[in-house]
Structure 1
Amino acid sequence: MIKKKANIAVFISGRGTNLKALILRSKKKKCNYKVAYVISNKKNADGLKIAKKNKILTKILSRSFLKTEQKKLAKILINKNIKFICLAGFMKILSPYFINFFKNKIINIHPSLLPKYKGLNTHIRALKAKEKFSGCTIHYVSKKLDSGKIIAKKKVKILKKDSLKKLEKRVLKEENKLYPLVIEKLVRS
């Protein structure tokens, strides 16, 4: 008997590389999730093209994303049986109201080894600090920015010849590998 795949929603703001990785993994027969919904806070995010190409339902949020809109979105996600919400380059902070609605169901991938370098410009900050390693962290979303319980990390060695772009590219490659595997594991548990 084939077990039904769990629905996940992916929130994006940009190019959608992690979205693409999650979708590619979901198409594998043994994968236990499917991307059922893609939500963006930017109407021209490249990730929306990826979603449409894969016939995935999309929604664009208003700039303000006020409480009434959050309530409506929460109801939609519940009606769609969304097991997890995956933030993948989503550049908007979710309200405590929305986070409480989906406690321990919202996952984020962050391009640093948390708790170091929360927020933006993580790679440049790691390079300026002459860190030996950078990487990515997958964590539960909490009310404090990039402070939720850590689920998984992947270290990336910072090379002497690294530029911002080179480091960013290598970290992103690890994000694209790690995120789908972690989501599968969470769905299984």
Structure 2
Amino acid sequence: MKRVAILISGGGSNMVALAKSMVGDHPARPVLVASNDPNAGGLVRARDMGIATAAVDHRPFKGDRAAFEAALLEPILAAEPDILCLAGFMRVLTPAFVQRFEGRMLNIHPSLLPKYPGLHTHRRAIEAGDSEAGCTVHEVTAILDDGPMLGQMRVPILPGDTPDALAARVLVQEHILYPTCLRAFADRLPIGAGIR
């Protein structure tokens, strides 16, 4: 059974979708939900689901990402995960952190990568006059939103769409895509090669 740690910053809807999917004959189980915000609503949701939680507030580490990441690593490594999933984790991670988890860290991004890495993806897609938007699950590399793609789902952009309306429709697809990609990824992952 593969062990999965999930990093969040907010309400954790993608975390909940992932955790709910990891039941029965699924090859993985959630062992930790960690956040950079001690008040993140997703921590409460994780605890209600019986998942261990940890919070490392990034604010006291302002200007020192390496020190923040060192503190964040403690609960992650203690949980002995095989896979690390970013699910709405809104901190940019250093290349050193990413390299430690290379080939074992996944992210979901609310655009059809390589279009619109970074923030404000829905507004940017609408302003560009695109006919569709969507979401992408990818492996995390040191380059923001640039790792190997594991799956995408597409959503039409409707006349009069607002960024919020589009985001809500894309989120529905995120909750389908991320669990599907995690299961396939966990199935392929060798046993006993966890993150250290």
Worse-superposed segment, 112-121 or 153-162: 153-162
Q: Which residue of 1 aligns with 2:46?
A: 51
1:141 partnered with 2:140: yes
Q: Which runs of 5+ in 2 are unaligned?
A: 189-196
1:124 partnered with 2:123: yes
Say which SS state the counterpart of residue 90 (structure 2) adopts: coil
Could you say if the C-alpha distance between residues 69 and 163 of structure 1 is closer, same or farther in structure 2, counting changes exceeding 3 Å?
A: closer
* Among 6, 9, 14, the residue aligned to 1:10: 6
Across the two proteins, how many residue pairs are aligned to each other?
184
Q: Which residue of 2 aligns with 1:181?
A: 180
Give the alignment of 1:46-125 within 5 angstroms: 46-63=41-58, 64=61, 66-71=65-70, 73-74=72-73, 76-125=75-124
Worse-superposed segment, 112-121 or 61-70: 61-70
RMSD of equivalent CA atoms: 1.6
The separation in 2 between residues aligned to 1:136 and 1:8, in whole angstroms, is 21
The separation in 1 between residues aligned to 2:92 and 2:163, in whole angstroms, is 25
* TM-score of the two chains, using structure 1 as the length reference: 0.91
Q: Which residue of 1 aligns with 2:194?
A: none
Runs of 4+ residues deviating >6 angstroms: none
* TM-score of the two chains, using structure 2 as the length reference: 0.88
Q: Which amino acid aligns with 1:48?
A: L
The separation in 2 between residues aligned to 1:79 and 1:15, in whole angstroms, is 24
Q: Which amino acid aligns with 2:57?
A: S
Could you say if the C-alpha distance between residues 73 and 134 of structure 1 is closer, same or farther in structure 2, counting changes exceeding 3 Å?
A: same
Say which SS state the counterpart of residue 82 (structure 1) adopts: coil
The separation in 1 between residues aligned to 2:68 and 2:123, in whole angstroms, is 35
Cα offset for 1:76?
4.4
Identity %: 36
Q: Is the CA contact (8 Å cut-off) linking 1:74 and 1:101 kept in structure 2?
A: no
Q: Which residue of 1 aligns with 2:21?
A: 25
Q: Which amino acid aligns with 2:42?
A: G
Cα offset for 1:180?
0.7
Q: Is the CA contact (8 Å cut-off) linking 1:134 and 1:157 kept in structure 2?
A: yes
The separation in 2 between residues aligned to 1:61 and 1:81, in whole angstroms, is 18
Q: Which runs of 5+ in 1 are unaligned?
A: none
Cα offset for 1:79?
4.3
Say which SS state the counterpart of residue 82 (structure 2) adopts: strand
The separation in 2 between residues aligned to 1:160 and 1:129, in whole angstroms, is 13
Q: Which residue of 2 aligns with 1:36?
A: 31
